[in-house]
C-alpha cells in the first residue's frame, strides 16, 4: 500500500509547516486528489490514521476533496469532464486529448492551532490559522 508512504511524505511537509509557523498543533489537513493520481482516497484515509501519530499531527483530521478528470480536445477545442476509465472527448469522441486535471495530489490547506500567548493574539483559548 503506497498510500502509507504518500501519507508519511505529506505529514512530513505538514509538520515542517507547523514548525515554521510556530504552531502548537495541526487541526486538519486538506488534500485534493484526482482519480488518475494513483492514490485511492479510502486507503489514504486509513493510512493517515496510522501515519499522523507524532508531534503536531497526532489529533489532525484529514479532509479529501476529490477532483474530476477534465480533458481538452484540440480537434473540437472543447474542455469537459470525462470518466477516468474513458479518456475521450465527450463532444466529438476524439481520443487524442490533453488531460487538464485529474492527475493531482495536492496539499491544499493546513489548519494550525496556536496558543494566544505565543502568537500575541488573544480572546480564545485556542486559535486556528489556515495556511
The enclosing domain of 27 has a CATH number of 3.30.2320.50
The CA–CA distances, whole Å, from 26 to 6, 15, 107, 124 equal: 18, 8, 14, 17
- 64, burial (CB in 10 Å: exposed 0-12, middle 13-18, buried 19+): middle
Total tally of structural domains belonging to the chain: 2
pLDDT score, position 1? 56
In terms of domains, do 40 and 73 share one? no
Give the structural domain span for 82: 68-101
* Other CB atoms within 10 Å distance of the CB of residue 91: 14
pLDDT at 2: 86
**95 and 119 co-located in one domain:** no
Q: Judge if 78 and 16 occupy the same domain.
A: no
What is the distance between the alpha carbons of residues 36 and 38, in angstroms, rounded to a whole number? 6
Same domain, yes or no: 46 and 97 = no
Does one domain contain both 46 and 82? no
Strands 61-66 and 25-33, sheet pairing = parallel
114 and 57 within one domain: yes
Q: Are residues 110 and 51 in the same domain?
A: yes
User: Are residues 14 and 73 located together in one domain of the fold?
Assistant: no
pLDDT of 115: 76
In tens digits, what is the pLDDT along the chain, a chain of 131 residues?
589 999 999 999 999 999 999 999 999 999 999 999 999 999 999 999 999 998 899 999 999 999 999 999 999 999 999 999 999 999 999 999 999 999 999 999 999 998 776 544 433 334 444 44
CA distances from 75 to 91, 94, 121 (A): 10, 7, 56
Per DSSP, 88 falls in state S
pTM: 0.80
Same domain, 57 and 111: yes
Tell me: do 16 and 56 sit in the same domain. Answer: yes
What angle separates helix 41-51 from helix 3-20, to the nearest 10 degrees? 60
Query: Are 91 and 44 found together in one domain?
Result: no
Amino acid at each position: 500500500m503506497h498510500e502509507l508512504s504518500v501519507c508519511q511524505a505529506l505529514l512530513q511537509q505538514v509538520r515542517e509547516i507547523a514548525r515554521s509557523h510556530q504552531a502548537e498543533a495541526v487541526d486538519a489537513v486538506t488534500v485534493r486528489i484526482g482519480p488518475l493520481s494513483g492514490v485511492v482516497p479510502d486507503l489514504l484515509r486509513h493510512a493517515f490514521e496510522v501515519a499522523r501519530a507524532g508531534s503536531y499531527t497526532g489529533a489532525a483530521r484529514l479532509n479529501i476533496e476529490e477532483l474530476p478528470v477534465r480533458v481538452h480536445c484540440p480537434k473540437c477545442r472543447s474542455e469537459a469532464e470525462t470518466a477516468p476509465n474513458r479518456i475521450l472527448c465527450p463532444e466529438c469522441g476524439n481520443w487524442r486529448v490533453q488531460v487538464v486535471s485529474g492527475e493531482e495530489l495536492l496539499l491544499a490547506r493546513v489548519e494550525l492551532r496556536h496558543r494566544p500567548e505565543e502568537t500575541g493574539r488573544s480572546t480564545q483559548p485556542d486559535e486556528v490559522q489556515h495556511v
